[in-house]
Amino acid sequence: LGEGRLGARVPEEGPTELRLAAVAFNSMADQVVQLLANERELAADLSHRLRTPLTVLRLNTASLGEGPAADQTRTAVEQLEREVDTIIRTAREAKPQTAAAGPGAGCDAAEVVRERMAFWSALAEDEGRKWRVAGADRPVRIPVARPDLAAGLDALLGNVFRHTAEGTAFAVDVHNGEDAVIVLVSDAGTGIPDPEAAMARGRGSGSDGSTGLGLDIVRRLAESTGGDVRIGSSVLGGTEVRVWIQLDGRAPASGGHRQLRRRRPGRFAAVYSRSRSH
Ligand SMILES: Nc1ncnc2c1ncn2[C@@H]1O[C@H](COP(=O)(O)OP(=O)(O)OP(=O)(O)O)[C@@H](O)[C@H]1O
Ligand SMILES: [Mg+2]
């Protein structure tokens, strides 16, 4: 049970005390499973509330007429509806023991970057933002599922659009290294003065549409591979978010990454042992 195999139960047999302890243990395990199931159903129900306003939006987009802005809006609303469906389905289908990603479960990071940039560049044009993509012209295999990388990129690019002024330039760089792939999303905005606070899950700016989950989603994506996320300053003058995706699931052997291990051994050690136990 401690290893997350929530289906594990102990035999209810032997001397009375042992049998009673086994019965108590098993009923606790049943409770844990039930609680998790309830939480997932709650997530599904809450997501389902988005359906109604989304339906209104979708119906209204029909009357937007023609033109790139109308098309973008329709596409975005359709995407929203699909994402809400995915959330509801994922919440309801989640198995207590999520299987570790097997070989071949990854994606081509370059292709995902190009695909997401096709979406964001249309908005960039509307907002008079200059943008640049580098390193996405040939395949870059990474051990991250496609929807996860797409969600991470959307979180970072969404941040650029939400947290920097219209007209602010941004860039996406993909570096394909021997044991890691690095994705850099940088902008010419005002930067992030307190990276640690920004990275904390649930600590958004407090305004509508800021839940403070975006950077944490990206961090978990990186950490699932044994990598990490660092916020720094960009040569463009604003924020640079560096997503380190480890390729072999082992701790990196060289460069500035090692520094991080020394500075925060606890967290990295946890990531290290988790990725090893897969
Ligand atoms: N590119 C950026 N430029 C300036 N500030 C940023 C940038 N990206 C993130 N931030 C700051 O970091 C905070 C945390 O970002 P994060 O994406 O985790 O949450 P959020 O954008 O506030 O909410 P959510 O992503 O859940 O809608 C933001 O509230 C913002 O203050
Ligand atoms: Mg965000």
User: Who wins on pLDDT, 140 or 274?
Assistant: 140
Give the ligand whose atoms come closest to the C-alpha of residue 199.
1
Cα of 194 vs centre of ligand 2, distance in Å, is 15
Name the residue range of residue 212's domain. 99-277
- Number of domains observed in the structure of the chain: 2
User: Who wins on pLDDT, 237 or 95?
Assistant: 237
Mean pLDDT of 251-262: 41
**Which of 159, 185, 207 has most ligand 1 atoms within 8 Å of its beta carbon, as the pocket-test mutant?**
159
> Is the per-residue pLDDT at 278 higher than 60?
no
2 domain-assigned: no
Distance CA 125, CA 121 (A): 6
Same domain flag for 233 and 107: yes
Shortest-distance Cα residue to atom 31 of ligand 1: 205
> Is the per-residue pLDDT at 266 higher than 50?
no
In which band, very low, low, confident or very high, does the pLDDT at 262 lie, cut at 50, 70 and 90?
A: very low
Same domain flag for 160 and 244: yes
Same domain flag for 159 and 198: yes
Mean pLDDT of 197-215: 81
Query: In this structure, are residues 113 and 172 in contact, taking their beta carbons and an 8 Å threshold?
Result: yes
Distance CA 239, CA 170 (A): 9
Distance CA 35, CA 6 (A): 12
8 domain-assigned: no
Domain of residue 41, CATH code: 1.10.287.130
7 domain-assigned: no
List pocket residues of ligand 1, CB cut-off 6 Å.
Answer: 155, 159-160, 162-164, 187, 189, 192, 198, 204-205, 209-216, 238-239
Mean pLDDT of 122-146: 94
Same domain flag for 114 and 77: no
pLDDT score at 263: 36
pLDDT score at 95: 60
Residue 256 burial by CB count (10 A; 0-12/13-18/19+): exposed, middle or buried? exposed
First to last CA, the chain: 16
Residue where one domain finishes, among candidates 40, 71, 90: 90
Residue where one domain finishes, among candidates 90, 107, 122: 90
In which band, very low, low, confident or very high, does the pLDDT at 97 lie, cut at 50, 70 and 90?
A: very low
55 domain-assigned: yes
Give the ligand whose atoms come closest to the C-alpha of residue 218.
1
Mean pLDDT of 239-254: 78
Same domain flag for 104 and 178: yes
Same domain flag for 191 and 249: yes
Mean pLDDT of 161-170: 95
Cα of 208 vs centre of ligand 1, distance in Å, is 12
Same domain flag for 139 and 256: yes
Mean pLDDT of 75-91: 89
Q: Is 59 helix (H, G, I), strand (E, B) or coil?
A: helix
Same domain flag for 120 and 73: no
9 domain-assigned: no
Shortest-distance Cα residue to atom 25 of ligand 1: 214
113 domain-assigned: yes
Distance CA 263, CA 52 (A): 48
pLDDT score at 134: 97
Give the residue carrying structure tokens 């395949």: 139
User: Who wins on pLDDT, 95 or 204?
Assistant: 204
Query: In this structure, are residues 161 and 123 in contact, taking their beta carbons and an 8 Å threshold?
Result: yes
Same domain flag for 147 and 247: yes
Mean pLDDT of 120-130: 92
55-59, 69-73, 209-213, 273-277: least confidently modelled range: 273-277
Same domain flag for 132 and 81: no
| Tens-digit pLDDT profile for residues 51-67 | 888 988 988 998 999 99
**Which of 87, 157, 186, 192 has most ligand 1 atoms within 8 Å of its beta carbon, as the pocket-test mutant?**
192
5 domain-assigned: no
Q: Nearest Cα to 141, choosing from 172, 176, 171?
A: 176
Mean pLDDT of 144-168: 93
State pTM to two decimals.
0.75
Residue 164 burial by CB count (10 A; 0-12/13-18/19+): exposed, middle or buried? buried
Same domain flag for 65 and 142: no
Cα of 192 vs centre of ligand 1, distance in Å, is 8
| Tens-digit pLDDT profile for residues 135-149 | 999 999 999 999 899
Same domain flag for 54 and 25: yes
Shortest-distance Cα residue to atom 17 of ligand 1: 214
Domain of residue 273, CATH code: 3.30.565.10
pLDDT score at 250: 53
Residue where one domain finishes, among candidates 49, 70, 90: 90
CB atoms within 10 A of CB 19: 14
Task: Dig out the tokens for 175 from the structure.
Answer: 């570096």
> Is the per-residue pLDDT at 186 higher than 50?
yes
Q: Where are the beta strands (DSSP E) in 56-179?
A: 107-108, 131-134, 141-142, 170-176
